[in-house]
Amino acid sequence: MKFFVDTADIAEIRSLAETGLIDGVTTNPSLVAKSGRDFFDVLKDICDAVSGPVSAEVAATDAEGMIREGDKLAKVSKNIAVKLPMTWEGLKACRHFADKGIMTNVTLCFSAAQAILAAKAGATFVSPFIGRIDDTGADGMQLIRDICAIYRQYPDFTTLVLAASIRSPLHITEAGKAGAHVATIPPAVLKSLVNHPLTDKGLSIFLADWQKTGQKIA
């Protein structure tokens, strides 16, 4: 399972990239707006910090506008994945970029039927939103399971399932069990994966016992 970090905070991205544990980055207009910086400057810095896919979202709502904006975004770096909305216009643009060999991420996916369309349009990634579905009282993780099950039936579908709107470590482990290829994770949630009270307790015991020996390793 690959980990993308869901942020436009370049300092956070660089810090996490140093661990060697992240495989890419996803951004959206809201995240870029929080940075308070020029959109293209942010993208260039992110692409310099990571070697994997970097999702950059278009703002147009018509296919022609999405293609025009996506072409400009793709020129920033070879690892840009043009992020497109799950609409008919977005799917038209997705097919355009797929035919040109440019990576795409079809976002705001809330049904398995939509995910099938994304695969048919040649999307590199499809982003089902777990947390936002949970917020409606439905089961967001079931959508991940359904999409993965459908995709497994059709080897000619090359679209990767990118679990998005992740709120907790449980979302990540459950998405992994379902077969999601990628999870895009907010920095705080990603960092929390390492936490466990028994790990902290065990380390405290080991260190206390070692201190009693009076020895040093270096």
Provide CB contacts within 8 A for 157, sequence distance 6+.
119, 151
Residue 80 included in any domain: yes
Measured distance CA(7)–CA(206) in Å, rounded? 36
Q: How many domains does the chain have?
A: 1
pLDDT band, very low/low/confident/very high, at 123 (cuts 50, 70, 90): very high
- Annotated catalytic residue, options 44, 83, 177, 201: 83
Map tokens 């060999």 to a residue.
101
Cα 13 from chain centroid (whole Å): 13
Q: Indicate the pTM of the whole model.
A: 0.93
Map tokens 């890419």 to a residue.
24
**CATH number for the domain harbouring residue 190:** 3.20.20.70
Query: 43 with 74: CB under 8 angstroms?
Result: no
The pLDDT, as a whole number, for residue 179 is: 98
The pLDDT, as a whole number, for residue 144 is: 98
83 is catalytic: yes
Range of the domain at 146: 2-213
Measured distance CA(115)–CA(89) in Å, rounded? 15
Average pLDDT, the chain: 96
Residue 142 included in any domain: yes
Q: Which residue has the higher pLDDT, 159 or 28?
A: 159
pLDDT single digits (tens) 14-58: 999 999 999 999 998 888 888 888 999 999 999 999 999 999 999
Residue 218 included in any domain: no
Residue 206 has pLDDT above 90, yes or no: yes
The percentage of residues in the chain with a pLDDT greater than 70, rounded to a whole number, is 100
From 194, 193, 197, select the one nearest 185 (Cα to Cα): 193
Residue 82 included in any domain: yes
pLDDT band, very low/low/confident/very high, at 181 (cuts 50, 70, 90): very high
What average pLDDT does this structure show over 97-115?
98
Tokens at 8, concatenated: 């436009």
Measured distance CA(52)–CA(66) in Å, rounded? 22
